[in-house]
Amino acid sequence: MNFQFLADIITGSGFAHSLMIGLSFIFMAIAVIIWLLELSGRTISKKGIVKNNLKWDAVTVATIAISAAVYIVGRPIQFQFVPGIGGFNPTMALAPIISVLFGLPGAIGITFSMPLGDAISGALTIGSVAGFLSHTFITWLPYKLVSGADFKSKKNITSYYLWAIIVGPIIHAITIPGWLDFTNVVPPGVAWAGVTASILINHMFTAGVVSIILIPILYPIVKNRGMYWKDRYLSSDFEGDDDF
């Protein structure tokens, strides 16, 4: 499966082609800044750069490790559209779910597991740089901007689908093909047709279906066990903040 029409539009115009590659670099630079901040104990909020209040205790480390393991174990289960680069993988749908339930530890586990997962699945290339960095927008972005994981609230459902299923995957689908195109890992037409298709199928369409099933089941379990991220390390300074 591929989106040949999209590839034709992007590669058929010099301006559009340059714009998409430029956006890819911008998004990767933003991702680097985000992780430099988060790993130094700071984060972006409506109040500016503030402490993220993450407690690096045994629970946090275990959450990161388990999130990474779940994502890595499922990586070889892939029906490839672009050999060695991308294809349909239902495990990818778990990225925003884990992030909105477990917060920053979940986002770290998923995002930083990408290079190892690529190696295990035989997809480790220079393109993995973009795969790693652009995962920020399907993990960290939902963690920061989704208003809550309780799907009894229509506001939370709307917020989730906006940031985790629409905005995040679209950024993801610009960043990876743009980098693959620029670095000539695959031909431009393949990057914007085949790779884009696999990203949107995994992170938009499949995730959209899986999320509405799993989150209502998992949220009460995670909440009752004290593992929901807003119960673990969201300080009073951030209470009431649904985004940034």
Cα–Cα dist 244/139, whole Å: 14
Span 4-14, average pLDDT: 78
Percent over 90 (pLDDT), the chain: 62
* Percentage with pLDDT > 70 across the chain: 88
Correct CATH for 4-232 of 3.90.1300.10, 1.10.1760.20, 3.40.50.620, 3.40.50.300: 1.10.1760.20
pLDDT digits (tens, 9 = 90+) for 37-75: 999 999 998 888 999 999 899 999 999 999 999 988 876
What pLDDT, on the 0 to 100 scale, is given for residue 243?
47
Q: In Å, what is the CA distance from 164 to each residue of 9, 78, 134, 149, 192?
A: 26, 22, 13, 12, 21
Residue 34 predicted with pLDDT over 70: yes
Q: Are 63 and 70 in contact (CB under 8 A)?
A: no
Residue 82's pLDDT is what? 54
Distance between CA atoms of residues 178 and 42, nearest Å: 29
* Position 19 confidence tier, pLDDT thresholds 50, 70, 90: very high
Q: Looking at the predicted structure, is the pLDDT value of residue 84 above 70?
A: no
pLDDT the model gives residue 143: 95
pLDDT mean across residues, the chain = 88
- Give the rounded distance of the alpha carbon of 27 from its chain centre: 12
User: pLDDT: is 120 or 209 the higher one?
Assistant: 209
- Predicted confidence band of residue 236 (pLDDT cuts 50, 70, 90): very low
Residues in the chain: 244
**Highest mean pLDDT out of 7-16, 103-112, 126-135:** 103-112
Residue 237's pLDDT band, with cuts at 50, 70 and 90, is: very low
How much is the pTM? 0.88
Kindly tell me if the per-residue pLDDT of 242 is higher than 50. Answer: no
Three-class HEC string of the chain: CCCHHHHHHHHCCHHHHHHHHHHHHHHHHHHHHHHHHHHCCEEEECCEEEECCCCCCHHHHHHHHHHHHHHHHCCCCCEEEECCCEEECHHHHHHHHHHHHHCHHHHHHHHHCHHHHHHHHCCCCCCHHHHHHHCHHHHHHHHHHCCCCCCCCHHHHHHHHHHHHHHHHHHHHHHHHHHHHHHCCCCHHHHHHHHHHHHHHHHHHHHHHHHHHHHHHHHHHHHHCCCCHHHHCCCCCCCCCCCC
Domain positions in the chain: 4-232
State the average pLDDT over residues 221-243: 74
